[in-house]
Amino acid sequence: MKNNLVLITFDSCRFDTFAAAKTPNISRLGKVEKRYSFASWTVPSHAVFLLGASPHRSPKGVFASEVYKKDFVTWGDRLNIPDISFKGFVPKLSLPAFLKEQGYKTNALVSLPVLNQTTILNQHFDRYQLMKAHNDFNAIIDNLLFEKDQPSFYLLNVGETHYPYTVPGEDSSHLPNLSGVHGVFKHMDDMMVEGAEQRIAMQAEDFFHLDKLLKLKDKQQANVEYLDRLFTKLYDVCPRNTHFIISGDHGECFGEEGYFGHGPVMHEKVFEVPFVEGRLK
pLDDT on residue 87: 76
Mean pLDDT of 138-157: 97
- Count of domains forming the chain: 1
In terms of Cα–Cα distance, which of 124, 128, 181 is closest to 157? 128
Mean pLDDT of 36-48: 97
Mean pLDDT of 18-36: 98
Structural domain of 230: 4-278
The better pLDDT of the pair 93, 279 is held by: 279
E strand segments, 51-206: 105-110, 127-130, 152-158
What residue spans of 62-186 are helical by DSSP H? 64-73, 75-79, 95-101, 137-142
Range in 136-140, 159-163, 187-191, 269-273 the model is least confident about:
187-191
> Tell me: the pLDDT tens digits for 182-237?
444 444 344 344 544 444 344 445 555 777 788 889 999 999 999 999 999 999 99
Across the chain, mean pLDDT equals 88
273 CB-contact burial (10 Å; exposed 0-12 / middle 13-18 / buried 19+): buried
What residue spans of the chain are helical by DSSP H? 15-20, 42-51, 64-73, 75-79, 95-101, 137-142, 196-207, 210-237, 268-271
Establish how many alpha carbons lie within 13 A of residue 265's alpha carbon, considering only the half-sphere containing its beta carbon.
Answer: 23
What is the C-alpha R_g of the chain? Answer: 19
Confidence of residue 70 (pLDDT cuts 50, 70, 90): confident
Cα–Cα distance, 81 to 101 (Å, whole number) = 12
> Does the pLDDT of residue 144 top 80, yes or no?
yes
pLDDT on residue 180: 45
CATH of the domain at 82: 3.40.720
Element of type H or E holding 25: none
Phi, psi of 15, deg, nearest 5: -60, -50
> Does the pLDDT of residue 128 top 90, yes or no?
yes
Single-letter amino acid, residue 137: F
pLDDT on residue 152: 98
| Residue environment code for 183-193, b if the CB has 16+ CB neighbours within 10 A, otherwise e | eeeeeeeeeee
> Does the pLDDT of residue 239 top 60, yes or no?
yes
Taking residue 58's Cβ as centre, other Cβ atoms within 10 Å add up to 9
The angle at the Cα of 250, spanning 218 to 237, to the nearest 5 degrees, equals: 80
pTM of the model: 0.89
In terms of Cα–Cα distance, which of 118, 260, 101 is closest to 178? 260
Three-state DSSP class for residue 122: coil
